[in-house]
Amino acid sequence: MAENIVIDEATLTRLKTKYATLLDDIDTRMSNYKWGNSPSSQLNLDEQFPLRLGGADFAAAVSLAKDLEKIRQNLTGRVSDTYTNASNLRWGLEYLLADSDHIEPLNKMTAEEFESYIPTSTTTPGSGSGSGSGSGS
């Protein structure tokens, strides 16, 4: 049997926190990575990789560099899309929770009062007793 899915304020807050953590992780991974003391010994996924593979006459190296650049661009595009979607979800949940917190105190209607607005009998079109409904005569 399938488990019931519960979406309450705690669930939405937990999801908002997960999306915020994902955004922080992406920010960390898109920053400069430094692996040595030289100013050129760093890497940033937003920039083309600094490859030195034998010069322009080495066809295999040129091909490899082009292929790595395509992979880097594809990867950064996916990361960018993920960042955009996670950001939209994070802020959407933030505003939903804030709006809910604002509206909830204004809602003073009990379930019984709400039920009083729901009709207990039904009518069909045209069964009214006067003008404004019924047949077109």
**Cβ atoms of residues 49 and 68 within 8 Å:** yes
pLDDT of residue 115: 80
Q: What is the pLDDT of residue 136?
A: 47
| 47-52 long-range contacts, CB within 8 A, separation 24+ | 48/72
Residue 53, SS3 per DSSP: coil
pLDDT of residue 56: 75
Task: Kindly state the DSSP code that residue 5 receives in the 8-state scheme.
Answer: P
pTM assigned to the model: 0.64
Inter-residue contact 51 to 68 (CB < 8 Å): yes
Enumerate the domain spans of the chain.
9-22+45-115
Amino acid 91: pLDDT:
93
- Write down the mean pLDDT value for the chain: 82
Low-confidence residues in the chain, pLDDT < 70: 1, 119, 121-137
